Amino acid sequence: MEAGDGEISYLASNTLEVYLGTPERPLEIPQALKQIRQLSESTVLTARIVLGLWNIRRHNDRVSKNGSVAILLEEILQWQGVQKHSRVAHPGTNKRYTDGYRTEQKQRVLQDLALLASCNVRGNCTITVKGKSVSIQVDGPYMRYSVVSRKTLLNERIIVGFLVSPGDWISTYEQHQNYYLAEVDSQIFKLNPQNDRYALRVALYLTERWREQAKQGDFSTPIMMSELLAASMIEVDERHMTSRFVPRIEASLEKLEAMGIIGKQLCMTDVDRNQTRWSKDWLASRWEILPPLKLIQEYQAMNNPLRKRVRNKTRTREREQTQ
């Protein structure tokens, strides 16, 4: 995190510099520090979930309008793995009923979106213009959203959901046909947010990582397991490390591979599990986690000018046929 010229900023996981406030009137450092402290695990997960849902819904006219997509408030909580509050039906029984999410849980989502909307993304992107690489600077809000609500019979306002879209930074990529920000595979949102909690968090992070790796086409760069877990917002369970935590993480990676979300996952470090404290070596182990082969080929086609033109013509014909 760096401070200077009246601004305060930090590097997000996608290496873009994120600062709070506006380019013309950045927030004062005390206020910015206060907001940065609120950029918690919940905020990061909300950002990834919302952008993922936007990616798979933006071309669906039933749930999209003017570049924004409709997302229910309860959807965000569901994909975060938050459980609804439940009560015992009556004394002396094990039967329970749910009365929905708590008010503070809903308020947390509103706070997350407000923080994300207050963040401005600043960074250099490489685009291709007439066959030449050109560096441009992206400067603007990270996310935009509108609140969708309804009124009850008692004239109370209840928030139902949001109309959400990324800031113009994502359009800048697409206008120049550099689709480095790939659509999140709809397979990810077929996972169960409760039973597949680890797999979901890893998958959301990996798609973010692959989008950035696509700039260099270097998907094979290994990642340390401890870094993967931290970036995926997964807390290490020290007490049940070898008996439960490690098997669950590895099972999650295997499931993602079986579903086609991951193309290949391989531990490149020899971890001797006969040692007493092998869990430390496992956390330090390096893993190669590749996207699906089809996705790699898509990126290669995007970066090939000739194949890119053919691909665009094919897409145009497909759109004309569906109209």
141-162 pLDDT tens trace: 788 999 999 998 888 889 999 9
- Least confident stretch, 77-91, 176-190, 250-264: 176-190
Tokens of 42: 């919940």
* Amino acid 266: pLDDT: 96
Top-confidence residue, 98 or 124: 98
* Amino acid 178: pLDDT: 38
Instruction: Count how many Cα atoms sit within 13 Å of the Cα of residue 80 in the half-sphere of its side chain.
Output: 24
Query: Please, are residues 57 and 127 in contact by the beta-carbon 8 Å criterion?
Result: no
Residue 214 has pLDDT above 90, yes or no: no
Q: What percent of the chain has a predicted confidence (pLDDT) above 70?
A: 70
Question: What whole-number distance in Å separates Cα of residue 3 and Cα of residue 299?
Answer: 36
Query: Exposed, middle or buried, 267 (CB in 10 Å: 0-12/13-18/19+)?
Result: middle
**CA distance readout (Å), 216 to 8, 86, 177, 212, 233:** 29, 49, 15, 8, 25
Top-confidence residue, 293 or 87: 293
Angle (CA) 85 190 294, round 5°: 150
Residue 297 has pLDDT above 90, yes or no: no
Sketch the domain layout of the chain as residue ranges. 1-85+102-181, 184-291
Question: What whole-number distance in Å separates Cα of residue 131 and Cα of residue 64?
Answer: 33
No. of helices (H) and no. of strands (E), the chain: 11, 14
* Amino acid 301: pLDDT: 72
* Amino acid 322: pLDDT: 47
Q: What is the mean pLDDT of residues 262-286?
A: 94
